Every structure is written in structure tokens, then in C-alpha cells.
Amino acid sequence: MAALPYWRLSSFYLFYFALLGSTAPFLALYFDHLGFSSARIGELVAIPMLMRCVAPNIWGWLGDYTGRRLAIVRFGAICTLLSFSLIFVSKTYAWLAMVMALHAFFWHAVLPQFEVITLAHLKGQTSRYSQIRLWGSIGFIITVVALGRVFEWLSLDVYPVALVLIMAGIIVSSLWVPNAQPVQSERVAGEGFLRQLRSPGVLAFYGCVALMQMSHGPYYTFLTLHLERLGYSRGVIGMLWAVGVVAEVLMFLAMSKILARFSVRRVLLASFLLAALRWLLLGSFAEYLWVLLFAQVLHAATFGSFHASAIQFVQRSFGARQQGQGQALYAALAGTGGALGALYSGYSWNALGPTLTFSIASVAAFAAAVIIATRMQEDRP
């Protein structure tokens, strides 16, 4: 316990998810500020997610092959900053598409490898993962609230500068983290990645990861614009995003006890069902503040309990030599689903409207619940 570099690991999550807190609520708003249509916004938001389908697997294989995961994290963080800085050169659609793709290729190299380093430091104490990961949620909250206020006072033209400063924080925190390697397991270390992937329930799990992230497409791409057009101020919208992440933090604090009592399968099933409910509420009743607050509290399930239980499932399903690839595939399938969600919501937002767009998301989450209920085997908590 004493050897665990808690604050060093936590600081990295804080800055990494601060960057997510600056992109998820505000990236589409920035593109709207630049004058792009909803279809073009959906495409630009989808590009980093599409890169998430490819990049983590390349970097994951490299991390497993070389074992130099921390070097990959630091290299990826530096190249993310350098490539994103190209946004100051031009604001045309083609140039922005290139910037989104290039910086995302390096950004998505970082987290899967860092997850392996964190779990290696925990040395089997996977229940403590949530206590470290919650600092990512805190970083998200600080950023989304602060930027919501900043964009009420200043023009969205300062948005790229804010992102560059946060990316610099990721670089500094990565230099502070000590390295660690996953412990070799005799039971599965000799088994190939594809063989472990074919274990009962593993493929079903990964399919549901894609469906869950697809269901988040309208949320991450258009929620801010949706609420702004319903009359909410940017400061209030920032607070509403923060409410969801506060609920996520509380869930992370409770996850060690929840996973000690309930199986991963049951936690995932509950997460998918609550996601289906949440998207219906956001699509149909967001004009009612109390409904909106309740829907944001459900972020505790749609991200908090889902992510923590998913990380534990991946960690126990793959041997030490395949951990990087297992985490990378999780990121890649999440990226695939997220990209599909951003694309379909971009094309349907004006054609079908918010209600039907969020209803499609609800159907995707419910389909994942059905798959988990029928295809994943019950595990002992």
C-alpha cells in the first residue's frame, strides 16, 4: 500500500480527463461558433473517435512487444500537443479534419497504456482503481465548470489556447509517473491474445462496449447545443455537465464495495438499462430542469459503473502479455461506437430532431443490455 504512487498516478488522470472535459462539452460548440453545419460538426467530432479505432491497437501491440509503455505515454502526450497546435494555422474544414485525425492518433496512444501501468502499480488490488480514476472525473468537473464560465465572459476564439494548456499539463504529469510492469501470470501468460479473446462472453462484452459508446453519440456531440437552444446559459450547461461527473465520482468511490457484492455482469446490465432510460429523458424532457438533473445523475451508471466494471473485466480476461492489447481493443471498440454515434447524430439531428436522435441512442443501449443478459456468463463477485 505504501509503495503505491497514488498522487502521481492520480495527477495524470486529472489532466488527461480535464482535456476530455474541455472537448466533450465544448468541441461541437466551437465548431458551431466557426459556422459549420450539424453534419460537418458530426464528422469533425467523429474523426478523433475513428482514430481511436486504429491507434490504440497499434500502440497496444507496440507496448506489449517492447514493454516500454511509459515511454509511449510520454511520446504520445508530447506529439498530441505538437499536432494539435496546428489548429492555429487555419480553420478550414479540411485543415481541421487533419488536425483532429493527427492529434487523436497520438492522444489515443496514451490512456490504454497508462491503464496497464496503473493496474501494474496496484498489483492485483483492482478494487482501488476507482480511487485513482476518480481524479480524472475531478479534472473533468473543474474544467467543464471553469470553461463554461470563461465562455460566458470571453469569445470561443480562446478555446484552442485552453486545450493547449491542458495538454501541457498531461506532458508534465506523465514525466512524474514511475514505471511499472504487469506481473506475469502462469495461467494465461502463454496463451495468445486471439485465444483469450474467444473466451466465453469476451466478444459479447466488446460488442456491447461499441453499442454503449454509440449511444453516447448525441450526448457528447450535441448536448451542449441542445441545451443552449432550450434556453440554458453556457455557465448553467457547464454546471449540468459537472453534475453528471460528480455522480460519476461518487460511483467510483463506491465501486470497490459494489463489485465485491455484485458480479461484473450484473453491474454492466444495470448500466446499459439506465443508459437507455437516460437518453429517452434527455431527448424528450430536457426542458424540465429536474428531469435534466436526474438524467445527469444517471451518468454514474452510464459511465461510472460501466467503465469501472469494464476495466475489471478486461484486466481479468487477459494475461499480462496481452493486457496492452486488451485495453487497446476496449478503447478501439469504444472509438468505433463513438464515431458511429457522432456520425449518425450529425446527420439525423436536423433531419429527425433531438427526440428521435436520442431515441436511437436508447435502442442501442437497450440492445447492449439484451446481449449482456443472454451472452455473458454469470461470474462470482
Q: pLDDT tens string for the chain (381 positions)?
A: 447 788 999 999 999 999 999 998 999 999 999 999 999 999 999 999 888 788 877 887 888 788 889 999 999 999 999 999 999 999 999 999 999 999 999 998 888 889 888 888 887 676 678 788 889 989 999 999 999 999 989 889 999 999 999 999 999 999 999 888 776 554 444 457 777 777 777 888 999 999 999 999 999 999 999 999 999 998 999 999 999 989 988 998 888 889 889 999 999 999 999 999 999 999 999 999 999 999 999 999 999 899 989 988 888 777 766 777 787 788 888 888 999 999 999 999 989 999 999 999 999 999 999 999 998 877 654
In order of 57, 228, 271, the CA distances from 148 in angstroms are: 34, 12, 28
| Total-model pTM | 0.82
Note the pLDDT of residue 188. Answer: 44
| DSSP single-letter state for residue 88 | G
* Cα 336 from Cα 202, distance rounded (Å): 17
Which residue is associated with the grid cell 492518433?
105
Q: What is the residue whose three cell numbers read 510520454?
A: 74
Look up residue 211 and give its amino acid.
Answer: L
Calculate the CA dihedral of residues 37, 42, 45, 50 and round it to 10 degrees. -140
Q: Are 286 and 227 in contact (CB under 8 A)?
A: yes
Given a contact cutoff of 8 angstroms between Cβ atoms, the answer to whether 45 and 102 are in contact is no
